[in-house]
Amino acid sequence: MYPNLAKREHLKNLPALFEQFKDDSYDAVAVTHGPGLEPALWTGIEFAKKLAAEKNLPLLPTNHMEGHIISSLVQNGRLENIQLPVLALLVSGGHTELVLTKSWFKYEIVGKTLDDAVGEAFDKVARMLGLPYPGGPEISKLAQKHRGSQKLGQKNGLVEAEPTRGPFSGQVSAMPKLPRPMLNSGTCDFSFSGLKTAALYALRDLGGIQKLSADEIAAFAAEFEDAVADVFVAKARKALIDTGAQTFVIGGGVAANSYIREQLQKMVLDEFPDVEYRLPHLGITGDNAIMIAEAALCHLLTGDWHEPPKEFKATGNLSIAQKML
Ligand code: KG4
Ligand code: ZN
């Protein structure tokens, strides 16, 4: 991560944004105060404070993770007909957590990663496979190709044959099985650093990526994605049982992963027919400004808002379970 680069980008982009602000058609200013990279957060906060004071608008410091939850729940621009409790699986480059909402704007963490975030694991394993950053979408694409060719191979009875066909024929030598960390820990917590290390060793045992065909790299990507999906399904299942949540939602960059979306959906449909599964629009799974505006708007419209203390600060490690400002 490059906090100072992020800060510089903010300093460059915010004045351009300000230009668009000139038409005065806004009701409030929302700003992320955490979690995130403090220099970048701080730049945004200073800017928002000045803007709100100048335009005499309410200022709403907003939690980044609440933005992910609320924006993922919104459907067709509306936040309605949502049965509480809501269970959210938040999966991004910085976070992996299961968050329970029993009453609006109150959040309880029921499970979290004990080490790396899942997006970080996707990015690191992608790098091991020689794929560009961000690695999540790259792994997902390869895994999908692999599964598609496996299906085709099965249909043609070719899966057991020697790998003699072109790229993505799906015919690969046996791929190592990766671990599913903490699957049976009896908690809703996660761990991804062991999976990442296991991937590293497995690649080394295979002789490095130079020794692997495109098919084999795709098969490896699929095995990694499978491992992550298995863990998410098991932990989400446990959390749904433990909490009795009525709505299940996913958010954060990794929530764009189509295989993970589908596997979770299958589990909820099969095992929790009374639970509503809300899938966020692909355009808002990764970090964006709309999610912060939507979360702030919910607070504003429901009256759950007061003028923040003048000196409120950026909080890099702000937890969603922490009391709002
Ligand atoms: O929420 P986000 O945009 O930023 C953070 O707050 O971290 O998440 C970024 C993460 C990156 O690690 C990226 O590789 C991952 O989301 N990601 C994916 C996919 N699209 C983005 N991971 C798996 N599959 C995807 N399709
Ligand atoms: Zn995020």
Q: Is 257 in the pocket of ligand 1 (CB under 6 A)?
A: yes
pLDDT tens digits, 75-90: 888 899 999 999 999 9
Q: Is 251 in the pocket of ligand 1 (CB under 6 A)?
A: no
Contact in structure between 31 and 2 (CB atoms under 8 Å): no
Q: Is 140 in the pocket of ligand 1 (CB under 6 A)?
A: yes
Which pLDDT score, from 0 to 100, does residue 72 have? 96
Instruction: Dig out the tokens for 78 from the structure.
Output: 């509306």
Which residues lie closer than 8 Å to 204 by C-beta, 6 or more apart? Answer: none
Beta strands 96-101 and 108-112, pairing class: antiparallel
Q: Nearest C-alpha to atom 8 of ligand 1 is from which residue?
A: 253
Domain ranges of the chain: 114-245
Ligand 2 centre to CA of 161 (Å) is 44
Q: Specify which residues 97 forms β-bridges with.
A: 90, 112
| pLDDT above 50 (res 6) | yes
Instruction: Give the Cα separation of 55 and 18 in Å (integer).
Output: 12
pLDDT tens digits, 118-144: 999 999 999 999 999 999 999 999 999
Instruction: Dig out the tokens for 316 from the structure.
Output: 């890099």
Sheet with 247-251, strands from edge to edge, namely 108-112, 96-101, 86-91, 247-251, 276-278
Q: Is 36 in the pocket of ligand 1 (CB under 6 A)?
A: no
pLDDT tens digits, 216-228: 999 999 999 999 9
Mean predicted lDDT score pLDDT of the chain: 91
Q: Which of 316, 320, 317, 319 is nearest to 42 (CA)?
A: 316
pLDDT tens digits, 175-234: 899 999 999 999 999 999 999 999 999 999 999 999 999 999 999 999 999 999 999 999
Ligand 1 centre to CA of 165 (Å) is 33
Q: Is 90 in the pocket of ligand 1 (CB under 6 A)?
A: no
Instruction: Give the Cα separation of 254 and 280 in Å (integer).
Output: 11
Lowest mean pLDDT among 50-54, 151-155, 251-255: 151-155
Tally the residues of the chain.
325
DSSP code of 152? H
Q: Nearest C-alpha to atom 12 of ligand 1 is from which residue?
A: 119
Which pLDDT score, from 0 to 100, does residue 175 have? 84
Q: Where are the beta strands (DSSP E) in the chain?
A: 29-34, 59-63, 86-91, 96-101, 108-112, 247-251, 276-278
114-245, what's its fold?
Nucleotidyltransferase; domain 5 (3.30.420)
